[in-house]
Structure 1
């Protein structure tokens, strides 16, 4: 089963955690000094916030899947839609190691399809890999950014 993912960069983690605890009526599922995540079932969403020195606001959107087969199906859908796709295997980011595919919508918003393999004790150095828009002659752009 798929879970919608939203990641927002924030400038004050504690204030935002307080706000989202009130909104979701739930404590974060994962909490670190620079990151918090809620794995909600109603609505079914992986909602993450982080304070990592980036610009505050929407960082990226995504679809979290529960298996390699589901991840392959999302990757095939992106490719069939002629969207730019970049593979990122065993990425270490947001206290998890994951296999991922990245795309970008026409507005330039990064989209991540990912299957989390296991938790890791550090935030990790891998981040958003933004493919060039379709028809571009250049390769993917990389930027360390949280998931």
Structure 2
């Protein structure tokens, strides 16, 4: 890696089947593992700047932790990644021109072999509302088509008092360049 961006995020996930996981992530990331050993695999990525490792331990696989994802820089990059994910048969759903997490976005989703959901998205602009279809999903407590948040987390946000005051709801609170998910 000649152009690594630091600090760089590291994620480690437990997986039930390392071979299936490596096959999936090699297709999804478009590159082979950086290191693979018995029960362990690691990818060091430049775009997104991420180190992600997988430890084979079926008993420790967790579900319903939310999702992982990354924001791409351009619509063209999103289109390229989407086309590659389609060719590999990885895309679980597409959402173009959606308002999710109070941001207008184009995105697609994939599921790894253990059900970990990844979101790849392009951020267009901040929005003052979410698409109404997401509220129906929250109300029905369905996890089949969530926008950024599981139903249990949405319930906590509507019933628990905020520990902080929102000073300005028109600016992106998640990261420079906007977008949360």
**Which bracket does the TM-score occupy, shorter chain normalised?**
0.3 to 0.5
The structure whose RCO (Cα within 8 Å, separation 6+) is larger is: 1
TM-score of the pair, normalised by structure 1 = 0.47
TM-score of the pair, normalised by structure 2 = 0.39
**Bigger radius of gyration:** 2
Q: Give the structure with the larger strand fraction.
A: 1
